[in-house]
Structure 1
Amino acid sequence: MKDLTVGFPTAGGLVQAVRGLSFSVEPGRTLAIVGESGSGKTVGTQAILGLLPEADISGSAVFEGVDLLALGEERLRQIRGAEISVIFQDPLTSLHPLYKVGRQIAELIRAHDSGVSRAQARRRAVELLGLVGIPRPDRRVDDYPHQFSGGMRQRAVIAMALALNPKLVVADEPTTALDATVQAQILDLITRLQREFAIALLLITHDLGVVAGMADEVVVMYAGVPVERADRRTIYYRPHHPYTKGLLESIPGSTGTREGRLRPISGRPPSMIAMPSGCAFHPRCPYAMPVCAAERPPLARVTGDGDHASACWLPHQAIGLGEEAEAVRLRASGTGPR
């Protein structure tokens, strides 16, 4: 993905859902896109799959040497489900309530390979349900979605996503509607299957706990803009952007919290129609400087930290969650001792 922008024309103005999103993900690796609700995480991935026909989209999304944004609907339809699959956050909206689960999986298979018979597609559906851990798959293949529990429905959706051995799987908040125990099971399942089939995984989530257990690299988004990009360990232990720092300090028991108390980020995200000048986070940032309101910072490499990049005017040495980094941030913003 390179310089993706997504906008929605409305009566109130242009909704700037995504502005300048760039990333890459390799086979067998997991890239997590993190941010609050409305930060543009889901919109960015839906745009590259042609799921936003009314949006104004620019940039490029190259998959296996082909720019997805330049393809027609028919060619995209051939890629969706076969080479790129999606696991949506609500399995009830992914499964048709009036058709048996096995039939829906078989339909997906036959839609992309007309040479497969109904019997062969059914056998493959049974095999897939067993692969994702559904008990007695030869019987449950004839059940309707309402006969499955929430966790089993999500397993069935994962089975559909893997039906045609895709090269890239987009997991869009795959465990949001599940309880903690089932959530852990589903995440373990996705991780196991990804490693087994060497799938490139694009994980969209607001849950930094999920990111800690699954991601290799992380992109943090705020108000449609990528504000920090780095490997998982750097994001957790040496964050540079104040928004990333704020997200981490909002986790119970995280580094940077004092006496077990959380530090919520003050204020609220801006309107995507009336975006603030400069850095979109500056109205909520405790380290904001005059330049933050005047100019939007580029996503630039943090010196000496490999692929670590941050869109912030703070000096690059103001990284991490420790007291020394805090002092650097305060001095840079003019609110601390010099």
Structure 2
Amino acid sequence: MSFAVERGKTLGIVGESGSGKSVSTQTLLGLTAGALIDGEALFEGQDLLAMSDAQLRRVRGKEIAMIFQDPLSSLHPLYKVGKQIAEMIRQHEPDVNKAQARKRAVELLGMVGIPEPDQRVDDYPHQFSGGMRQRAMIAMALSLNPKLIVADEPTTALDATVQAQILDLMLRLQREFDTALIMITHDLGVIADLADDVLVMYGGKPVEHAERRSLYYRPHHPYTKGLLESIPGSTGAKERLKPIPGQPPSLINLPSGCAFHPRCEYVMDRCVPEEPQLTPVNDNDGFPDLGHTSACWLPHEAAGLSADAERIRQEAVAAGRSGDTTIVDAGEAQ
């Protein structure tokens, strides 16, 4: 897979659980020990994948910070929250003494909206609510003004109100610090107001990459279309949600050809043996849009799933190659 994100910009990576979103970004920071890795990950001209453990430790936290999905398991339960933030600051800036690091931790907690930060700095993680723990993780991520923040589903375990507050906070702080942000989520609705570009992943690989408006208004890949139709209200206020049938594939036993073909209502004969690559989707004028690519054998027209695609779907249904029949066949084959 290939993607890029500039300072001050946000890349959203979306897909169902098990699509490879977290693993792809954790690999950048050397957090997938024992995995077979190839390719390169360039950060300011240096290949992160070729760095030693010592070199990566200097990059993690200071240059690239990560906000994990579950802050309770990310924060050490036996150490005060402020101490953990201060420890990270001193680890990368040895000239900062304990008093200075504590003062900075108080400032950071106040910056992310923790009430009475000069007192809460001495609390333990279990004394914080879920939203406050996530705010503390954001404070820790921002403590050294990193150039890139990777947020791995930071709002999944939070209720809707707190989720909105956390997203607003991240967007505000990103603009204030001019930080590049990679937002990982399974919910396209989360990044609707946050991302500049969106990368859709399925089966461990990208299937569509586009600027946000292009992806929302001109989706090309059937999987992207399915994710969008799964958002409440996307198909009409009184209509039922339209889920994607079937289950995501095992990453160690992927289907042949296009990994999505067992669940796709537009499946064609060539989808089974041949794996499509990311290629440009045509813009409204009929010219290839290099900023919008899709890994699908459907016609790459600006209208997304065009009339040709609908004809293909109807033919597939008539031939018994689509919908529930395909899913049942795939299950029996396993």
| TM-score (structure 1 length as normaliser) | 0.90
Determine the structure 2 residue equivalent to 1:317: 301
Find the aligned partners of 1:160 and 1:317 in 2 and give their Cα distance. Answer: 45
Determine the structure 1 residue equivalent to 2:248: 269
Residue in structure 2 matching 1:40, options 16, 20, 30: 20
Shift of residue 320 of structure 1? Answer: 3.6
Residue in structure 2 matching 1:119, options 90, 99, 104: 99
Shift of residue 257 of structure 1? Answer: 5.4
Determine the structure 2 residue equivalent to 1:6: none
Q: Secondary structure at the match of 1:56?
A: coil
**Cα contact 1:330–1:336 (8 A) shared by 2:** no
Find the aligned partners of 2:215 and 2:225 in 1 and give their Cα distance. Answer: 9
Post-superposition CA distance 1:84-113 (Å, at most 9, x none): 000111110111111111100000000111
Shift of residue 264 of structure 1? Answer: 1.0
Shift of residue 207 of structure 1? Answer: 1.2
Shift of residue 267 of structure 1? Answer: 1.2
Shift of residue 319 of structure 1? Answer: 3.4
From the superposition, tell whether residues 135 and 258 of structure 1 become closer, same or farther in structure 2 (CA, over 3 Å). closer
Say if 2:154 is the partner of 1:174.
Answer: yes
Identify which range, 167-176 or 297-306, moves more after superposition: 297-306
Find the aligned partners of 2:187 and 2:107 in 1 and give their Cα distance. Answer: 31
Determine the structure 2 residue equivalent to 1:79: 59
**Cα contact 2:11–2:196 (8 A) shared by 1:** yes
Find the aligned partners of 1:238 and 1:258 in 2 and give their Cα distance. Answer: 21
Alignment length, in residue pairs? 312
As a proportion of its length, which structure holds more strand?
Answer: 1
Find the aligned partners of 1:208 and 1:166 in 2 and give their Cα distance. Answer: 26
Post-superposition CA distance 1:169-192 (Å, at most 9, x none): 000001011111111100000000
Determine the structure 1 residue equivalent to 2:212: 232
Gaps of 5+ in 1: 1-20
Shift of residue 331 of structure 1? Answer: 2.0
Matched AA of 2:254: M
Identity of aligned residues (%): 69
**Cα contact 1:30–1:200 (8 A) shared by 2:** yes
Q: Aligned ranges for residues 85-234 of structure 1 at < 5 Å? A: 85-234=65-214
Say if 2:266 is the partner of 1:287.
Answer: yes
Matched AA of 2:204: G
What is the RMSD computed on CA atoms of the aligned residues?
1.5
Say if 2:280 is the partner of 1:301.
Answer: yes
Gaps of 5+ in 2: 319-334
Shift of residue 135 of structure 1? Answer: 1.0
**Cα contact 1:86–1:169 (8 A) shared by 2:** yes
Q: Secondary structure at the match of 1:221?
A: strand
